[in-house]
Amino acid sequence: MNAFRRLLLLPALIVTLVLAGLPYPFSTPQLAAQSTGALPAGLTVLNLAPPGGAAAPQASALELQTIRDRLLQIRNRMAAQEPQVSQGPSAVPLVAGPQALVGGTKPVTLSLVGAESAIDIDGIGAASANENLDPIASDTPGGGCGAFVTDVAELVAVNNGAATFAAGNCAHVEASGNSGFNWSPRPVTPGPLATPIICCDHDVMYDDSTRVVFHSSLYTNGDLSKTAVGLDVYQHMFSDTAPSCTYFLGPVTGTIDFPHLGLTKNFLYISVNFVSGGSQTAFMLRYPKTALANCAGSSTLSTTGNFTSWAGSIEGQKVWRPSRGTNIKHTMIWAHRINNTTLRIFKWDDTLPAANNFTRNIPFSSSAAPGTNCAGGSNNTGYITAINTSLIGFNFEGAVTDDKLYFYWQAGPAASPMVQAHIDGVVIPLTGGASVPTVEFPVAYPHIFNSAYCMGFPEVTANKLGDLGMVLAWGGANAGGGEPVRLIVGVSDEFTGLGLFDLVKEPVSLQFADRNPAVNDRYGDYSSNHPSEPCEKWFVGTGYFLYTHGEVEQLFFEYGRHKHYRCWSDYSNILGNNE
C-alpha cells in the first residue's frame, strides 16, 4: 500500500474509532495538500456561455416549489444519516460567557462607551409597487415566483458606493444606483439545454481589485437529476444592463447543491456539495479571477489538478463555504466540524494546487436535541432543525482578518444558561504574515445566546479594519409561543469582547414581522452579509421576514458603527455611484 493510500485510510480509521465511542489513538497529523474524491467530468472546466440566447424559462410556482422540496429532502436525508452528537477527543471546558442582548435602533449591549459605540442601520429600500415593504421584485410574478407568497427568499446583495446589486429567488436580478432606494431589473441568464431552470442558491461577490460583480446561481432540469452552476460577470455594477459574460460549471449528472463564492487576491472560489446516488463529496474549486473578470475563454479555466475535495465516507457528509475577508490575502481558509469538539481546517495558498488541512480542538458544541424547534409567531411554528445544527455544516461560517480566524455555527440547546438554540464560535490567531498566514491554536470560544429566545443562522464577514459584521435571526423559543423570527445585525470590534457582538434589531422586521415559516426548516441560507465598498468600515446585509398573511418581505440594508457613519454617508450621498 503506498503512502498516499495510507493517508486516505487514516481519517476513516479515526472516524470509525470516534463513532464507536473510543478516543483518538493519537493526535491527528496535518495532511499534505491533497484531495480525496475524483472530480466529475462535468466539473472539470468552467465553460464560457455563448452570448445572447433566449430568456431563461420561468418555471411555475409549483414546479419551483417541487424542485426546492427535493433539495430540502436531500439535506434532510444527509442530516438524518449523520450523528447529531459525536464526541471527539478531550476539548477545552465549556464557558458560556455573557448573554447576548438585543438593543433598539441605536443600541449598545455589553460595552457602553458613549455615542461612538452605537450601531446605525441605513439604506432601507423604498416600498415596491406591489407590496408595502418589499423593495425587491421577488414576490411579484415578474420575480419568477408566480405568486406573492413564498417562504424561500434567499436574497443576496453587494455595493460599491451608491451602486448596489441584488439577486434572489425565485429568479430575479436587480441593480440600484442610489443605495437601494430604487431598483432596476436585470435579465435572468438562460441556462444550458440540459438544465434550463434557474432554481435557487444565489450568491454574489464584489471584487474591489478588478471592480466586477460575480453572481452565481443553481440551474437544474425538472427533477434535479442534472444540475449546473451559473456564474454571471458584471464589469459595471449598475450601468451594465446585462452580464458582460456568463460561465457554467456543468451540467453534470447528479445534484449540485449549496454553491458559494469566495475570493483571494488571485482566485475566485466556488464550493459545491455534490450528491450522486448514495455518495456525497464537498468540492472547493478555484479559477483565476482576472481571467474571469475579462471574460476569458474556457480553455484557461480548467479545474483539473487544481481543486480540493472531501468525500463523505471519510468523516461523515460535510458541506463547505469559502470564508469571507480573504479577498486581500493569498490564502483561502475554511473548515468543517469532524465532531462536536474538533474542527478540521483547510488552508489553500494561491501557490499550491490543493489545500493543506489540520485539526483544532474546541469546546463541546451541542447539536439538535428534542424540542429544538424555536416556535413562535402568530402561527407558532419553528425554524431551526437538525439540518441547521448538524455536523454537516449548512450553517457554518468563517471570516478572516489580518491576525485572526473566526468560525461560527448553529448549535442546539446546551447546559444552562444556553438553554435555547444559539450560535457557537471559535477565534484562532494567525501569524507569519497577513497575506499567507499560519493558523495557530484557539484563544477564545464566543457564544451568542440568550436564555429567553433562539438565535441562529449566522452570516459573518470581515472588513478591512479587522472588524466583524454579522446578520442573524432571532425569535421563537423551545417551549413555543415565542416572538416571530426577525433580523438582527451586530458588530464585533474594540467595543466588544473577542468574537462577541453588539447587536441591534433591523427596524423594519422588528416592526412588521408576524409569522414564522410555514415549514419549520424553511428559514435556511436566506440572508447575506458583505463589507461595504469602498467605505471599508460599514457592512451590507440582506434578509427577510414574513408579514401578516405570510408575504415575504426581503430587505437590503447597510449598517455599521455610528462613529463611521460619515464614511458611509459620503460615499452614498456625496460621492454617489462609484462603479
Confidence of residue 151 (pLDDT cuts 50, 70, 90): low
Residue 438 domain-assigned (yes or no): yes
- 427-457 per-residue burial string, b: 16 or more CB within 10 A, e: under 16: bbebeeebeebebeebebbbbbbbeebbbbb
pLDDT of res. 521: 63
Residue 284 and residue 322 in contact, taking contact as beta carbons nearer than 8 Å: yes
* Higher per-residue confidence, 435 vs 370: 435
Confidence of residue 408 (pLDDT cuts 50, 70, 90): very high
Confidence of residue 385 (pLDDT cuts 50, 70, 90): confident
| Summary mean pLDDT of the chain | 81
203-222 pLDDT, tens digit per residue, is 999 998 999 999 999 999 98
Whether the pLDDT of residue 17 is over 60: the answer is no
pLDDT of res. 147: 54
Confidence of residue 576 (pLDDT cuts 50, 70, 90): low
Per-residue pLDDT, averaged over 399-427, amounts to: 92
Cell 452528537 appears where?
85
Name the percent of the chain lying above pLDDT 70: 80
Residue 579 domain-assigned (yes or no): no
Residue 125 domain-assigned (yes or no): yes
416-447 pLDDT, tens digit per residue, is 888 899 999 999 999 987 788 899 999 999 99
3-state SS of 412-433 is CCCCCCCCCCEEEEEEEEEECC
What is the pTM (predicted TM-score) of this model? 0.89
Residue 568 domain-assigned (yes or no): yes
- Count CB neighbours of 320 within 10 A: 25
CA–CA gap between residue 557 and residue 124 (Å, rounded): 5
- Number of compact structural domains in the chain: 1
Whether the pLDDT of residue 310 is over 90: the answer is yes
Among 94-108, 149-163, 329-343, 517-531, the range with the most confident prediction by mean pLDDT is: 329-343
Residue 396 domain-assigned (yes or no): yes
Q: Give one DSSP letter per residue of 264-291, joined into a string.
A: -SSEEEEEEEEEETTEEEEEEEEEEHHH
Whether the pLDDT of residue 8 is over 50: the answer is no
Question: DSSP H helical segments within 311-385, as ranges?
Answer: 312-315
477-531 pLDDT, tens digit per residue, is 988 899 999 999 999 998 888 999 989 888 888 888 998 887 666 666 778 999 9
Structure-derived torsion over alpha carbons of residues 384, 389, 395, 397, reported in degrees to the nearest 10: 140
Confidence of residue 69 (pLDDT cuts 50, 70, 90): confident
Confidence of residue 108 (pLDDT cuts 50, 70, 90): very low
Residue 52 domain-assigned (yes or no): yes
User: How far is CA 181 from each of CA 128, 173, 558, rounded to the nearest angstrom?
Assistant: 10, 15, 12
pLDDT of res. 227: 95
Among 69-78, 473-482, 505-514, 549-558, the range with the most confident prediction by mean pLDDT is: 473-482
pLDDT of res. 99: 83
Q: What is the domain range of residue 9?
A: 3-19+29-574
Residue 24 domain-assigned (yes or no): no
Residue 442 domain-assigned (yes or no): yes
CA–CA gap between residue 552 and residue 558 (Å, rounded): 20
Per-residue pLDDT, averaged over 141-156, amounts to: 62
Whether the pLDDT of residue 112 is over 80: the answer is no
Whether the pLDDT of residue 461 is over 80: the answer is yes
CA–CA gap between residue 520 and residue 382 (Å, rounded): 5
Q: Give one DSSP letter per residue of 87-110, joined into a string.
A: --S--PPP---SPP-EE-SS---S
